[in-house]
C-alpha cells in the first residue's frame, strides 16, 4: 500500500519519532511506500536539507519506498530552486507542498498575494507537476473559540467554512495565474470542500483529493474524550460530515486515502499540539470499508493505484492485508505510540 501523506519527524523532533521507527511501523502495517511532508525541523525548503533527508531515509535500510515533498515559501528564487529540485530528483522528490494556512511548523502562506505569487512563479517556471495543499483560510479561523480543556472545540476554532473557502480560493487563484500543474487537496474534512473540487474537475481542472482515516472514522464527539488526544488540522467534524465523507469514499468520489501520520509526545499533546499517529487508522478504515461493501478495485485505487496514476509512478502491485489480519495489525501499530486516538473505535 502507498501512504502519500506522512510526517515522520526525526532531526530536532526525534523525541516524537525517528525516520527508522516510522518507516518500520509503516511496513509492519503493509505500507511499503510513503510521501513525507516538508514541515520538518529544519524544514525541507532548501536543497541541502532535502538531500540530507533523502540520505537519512535511505540509510535506515528499511524496505519502504521513500519520497518527499519540497516545501514552498514566498520567495520566487526559492520556488524556482524547488522546481529544479523536483525536475532533478523526481520521483524521490515527488512534488511541492504549500500550506495555505498555518499548521504544525508555521509554514503557512496565508495571504492571497503570497499564494498568487507561488502559482505565478510556478507558471513562469513551466512546472506542471503536483502541488499538494493544506487548505484552511486564516481569516476565517477563530482561535478564541478553542477551549484547552475540550479538544472538540478545535472544530469551532477552525470551522468547515475556512476549509471550503480556502479550497475555492486555491482553485480560483491557480487558474488566474495560469498554473497548468496538478492541484492535490490534502485531508479533506468536509463534503462541501469535495463539492468544490468536483465542480473544478468537471471543468477540466487537474485536481485530486484525499481523506484521512480519522476524518472518515471519527467525529468531533470523539474529540471530547481527552484521553484520545484527537486534535489535528483540519479538526474532526460532525457526524454528518464524517458519514458523508465515508460515503464519498465508498462511492469512488475520493482519489485516495492518506494517513496524515503525525506523532507527538504526550507532553506536546497536553500543550495542544495538532496531529495523531495514523498508520493504525488506515487498517481500521480498510476494515470498515470492506464491511460496508467496498470492492477490491476500489480499495486498490484508494490505497495506491490512483497515486501511481497522478504522480506517474511505476505500476507496482498494491497488496492489502487480509481482512482477518487488519484488527491485530492495527492494534500492534497503535502500541508503538504513547496514545491511540482510535481506541474507543476498537471497543465498539
Give Rg (Cα) of the chain: 19
Nearest to 112 by CA among 190, 168, 196, 50: 168
Q: Which residues pair with 108 in a beta bridge?
A: 99
Who contacts 111 (Cβ-Cβ below 8 Å, separation ≥6)? none
Residue 313: CB atoms within 10 Å: 17
Question: Among 150, 260, 268, 335, which one carries the catalytic annotation?
Answer: 260
The pair phi, psi for residue 128, each rounded to 5°, is -125, 20
Q: Which residues pair with 132 in a beta bridge?
A: 97, 184
> How buried is residue 245: exposed, middle or buried, by Cβ count under 10 Å (0-12/13-18/19+)?
buried
Nearest to 296 by CA among 309, 284, 305: 305
- Cα–Cα distance, 19 to 60 (Å, whole number): 7
- Cα–Cα distance, 203 to 313 (Å, whole number): 25
Would you say 160 and 148 are in contact if contact means Cβ atoms under 8 Å apart?
Answer: no
Annotation marks residue 260 as catalytic: yes
> How buried is residue 89: exposed, middle or buried, by Cβ count under 10 Å (0-12/13-18/19+)?
middle
Nearest to 209 by CA among 182, 234, 240, 185: 185
Would you say 6 and 41 are in contact if contact means Cβ atoms under 8 Å apart?
Answer: no
So which residues are the catalytic ones? 260
Amino acid at each position: 500500500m502507498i501512504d502519500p501523506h506522512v510526517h515522520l519527524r526525526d532531526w530536532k523532533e526525534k523525541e516524537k519519532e525517528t525516520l527508522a521507527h516510522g518507516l518500520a511501523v509503516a511496513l509492519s502495517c503493509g505500507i511499503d511506500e510513503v510521501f513525507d511532508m516538508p514541515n520538518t525541523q529544519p524544514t525541507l525548503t532548501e536543497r541541502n536539507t532535502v538531500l540530507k533527508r533523502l540520505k537519512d531515509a535511505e540509510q535506515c535500510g528499511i524496505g519502504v519506498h521513500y519520497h518527499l515533498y519540497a516545501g514552498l515559501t514566498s520567495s520566487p528564487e526559492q520556488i524556482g530552486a524547488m522546481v529544479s529540485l523536483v525536475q532533478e530528483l523526481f520521483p524521490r522528490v515527488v512534488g511541492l507542498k504549500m500550506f495555505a494556512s498555518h499548521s504544525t511548523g508555521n509554514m503557512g502562506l496565508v495571504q492571497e498575494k503570497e499564494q498568487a505569487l507561488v502559482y505565478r512563479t510556478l507558471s513562469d517556471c513551466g512546472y506542471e507537476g503536483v502541488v499538494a495543499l493544506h487548505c484552511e483560510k486564516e481569516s476565517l479561523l477563530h482561535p478564541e473559540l478553542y477551549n484547552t480543556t475540550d479538544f472538540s472545540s478545535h472544530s469551532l476554532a477552525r470551522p468547515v467554512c475556512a476549509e471550503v473557502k480556502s479550497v475555492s480560493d486555491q482553485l480560483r487563484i491557480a487558474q488566474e495565474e495560469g498554473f497548468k500543474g496538478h492541484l492535490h487537496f490534502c485531508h479533506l474534512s468536509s463534503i462541501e470542500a469535495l463539492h468544490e473540487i468536483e465542480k473544478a474537475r468537471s471543468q477540466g481542472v487537474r485536481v485530486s483529493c484525499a481523506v484521512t482515516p480519522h476524518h472518515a472514522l471519527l467525529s468531533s464527539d470523539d474529540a471530547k474524550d481527552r484521553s484520545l488526544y484527537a486534535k489535528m488540522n483540519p479538526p474532526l467534524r460532525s457526524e454528518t460530515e464524517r458519514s458523508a465523507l465515508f460515503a464519498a469514499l465508498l462511492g469512488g468520489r475520493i482519489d485516495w486515502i492518506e494517513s496524515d501520520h503525525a506523532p507527538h509526545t504526550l507532553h506536546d499533546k497536553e500543550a495542544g499540539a495538532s496531529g495523531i499517529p495514523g498508520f493504525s487508522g488506515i487498517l481500521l478504515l480498510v476494515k470498515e470499508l470492506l464491511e460496508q461493501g467496498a470492492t477490491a478495485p476500489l480499495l486498490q485505487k484508494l490505497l495506491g493505484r490512483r497515486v501511481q496514476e497522478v504522480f506517474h509512478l511505476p505500476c507496482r502491485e498494491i497488496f492489502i492485508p487480509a481482512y482477518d489480519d487488519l484488527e491485530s495489525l492495527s492494534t500492534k501499530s497503535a502500541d508503538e505510540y504513547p496514545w491511540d486516538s482510535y481506541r474507543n473505535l476498537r471497543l465498539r
